[in-house]
Amino acid sequence: MPLVLLLLCSVVTFFVLYAPQPLLVLFSSNFNVSPAQSGSLMSLTMLPLAIAPIVYGLFLAKRNVLLVLKMTMVGLAISCLLFVHVDSFYLLQWLRFIQGLLLPAALTSMTGYIGMRYQGTALHKNMSLYIGSTILGGYLGRVLSASFASMLDWQSFYYVIAVLLVLLSCLIKPSNHQAQIKAANSPKDYLRPLKNRALISLYLAVFCMFFCFAGLMNFLPFILQDTFAITDPKDVGLVYTGYLVGAALSVASPWIVKKCPSAAVFIFWIFILYVMTLTVMQFPSFWLFITAFTLFCMAMFMIHTTAAGFANHLSQAPSTVTNGAYVSFYYSGGALGSFLPGFAFEHFGTHGFLLTLTFVCLLGTWCITQVKEKTDNVQSL
């Protein structure tokens, strides 16, 4: 399978995940639900993403990952078509949960395929390209969703997603899939190499990282509405441009990592930057908020792109299992972060919300100090 096709599949798959996010205020108003309930459209999708990838990683170790990816994309297309035709918030929640069951199969298939096909420097390079495609998909999914909602209606973008998913699935040729790794005797044999304290600490730091990121991205429309009186979905979508600018700035991370004693040291200092941006967002200045938001996104992407490759470097488990576990911890943080901080926002406003994220971010920083202590003998990636 050409890498460019896999990256396109990744971009469109992330459309499915993030398209509802800039529309949460709209859903809250249309269905007369609270901000926290509206945020459940993201958390219900991320909840299966938090649990299923490690299971899928075990399953895919013995399966043709490209065939699974092809079938999953067709399933996601069907779910998008159903999503636009329901008139109950309860049914919207169920469909988002079903999408959450399908998405980890696609994500684990893609990361597993990269891990099986490439090694060494090529693995880190192509895994970084994959992470970049997820960033681009997240950005375009949010901005295009908001733009379609403003110019046409929110349902129209879902028709576009469905068509793209079907077209890309037709281009996937499962027969080109590489030979699978030798099967282990039991799931325990696959999971045993994950019992690495440095690896677990890294996974926990990734959990905290995405908890904060998902929380801010999910409730950004409500912050913009309450603090800066920005309500138009198109304007909300434009604010997400900071997300793309941050992603562009993060491309320097591989070069910076090489200048650091280790990947763990690099991630530690980026976590410090992560904490600082959340602190700056407390000031009631729109342009200061946008600047801090852009740097916040940059920090997250730097951590994410480095940690994904670092996990593969530390782990002796099969690629699908290592990356499945990574995705599980990543979206566990996303599932909780897209929902729980909403209660802090409802009861204590923007300041209490940002303080909650800052506390979790500090926990992530501490986890990385544990990784550093356990990997002092690991060379910089």
Overall pTM surpassing 0.75 (yes/no): no
Query: Is residue 322 within 8 Å of 196, Cβ to Cβ?
Result: no
Angle of helix 341-374 relative to helix 35-60, nearest 10 degrees, comes to 40
Structure tokens at 84: 């636009």
Question: Beta-carbon neighbour count of residue 33 at 10 Å?
Answer: 18
For residue 129, the model assigns a pLDDT of: 81
Q: What does the radius of gyration of the chain's CA atoms come to, in whole angstroms?
A: 20
For residue 182, the model assigns a pLDDT of: 46
For residue 378, the model assigns a pLDDT of: 46
Instruction: With residue 281 as reference, give the H or E element that holds it.
Output: none
> What is residue 381's three-state secondary structure?
coil
The secondary structure of 49-88 as a DSSP string is HHHHHHHHHHHHTTS-HHHHHHHHHHHHHHHHHHHTT---
Query: Is residue 339 within 8 Å of 21, Cβ to Cβ?
Result: no
Q: Report the chain (381 residues): mean pLDDT per 10 consecutive residues.
A: 89 92 82 78 80 65 77 93 87 90 85 76 75 85 86 88 94 66 49 69 91 88 80 69 75 77 86 93 87 89 83 69 79 82 84 92 91 60 44
Instruction: With residue 185 as reference, give the H or E element that holds it.
Output: none
Query: Is residue 353 within 8 Å of 223, Cβ to Cβ?
Result: yes
For residue 162, the model assigns a pLDDT of: 95
- Kindly give, in sequence order, each residue whose CB lies less than 8 Å from that of residue 73, ignoring residues fewer than 6 positions away: 9, 12, 13, 106, 165, 166, 168, 169, 172
Cα 39 from Cα 76, distance rounded (Å): 20
C-alpha triplet 266, 272, 273: angle, nearest 5°:
90
Question: Beta-carbon neighbour count of residue 29 at 10 Å?
Answer: 11
Q: In 152-285, which ranges are continuous DSSP H helix?
A: 154-171, 187-191, 197-228, 233-239, 241-249, 253-259, 263-280
Cα 207 from Cα 311, distance rounded (Å): 13
Identify the DSSP state of 177: P
Name the CATH superfamily housing domain 3-177+186-374. MFS general substrate transporter like domains (1.20.1250.20)
User: Which of 313, 331, 315 lies closest to 191, judged by CA?
Assistant: 315
Cα 249 from Cα 304, distance rounded (Å): 13
Location of structure tokens 């920083």:
365
Cα 287 from Cα 228, distance rounded (Å): 11
C-alpha triplet 144, 85, 96: angle, nearest 5°:
65
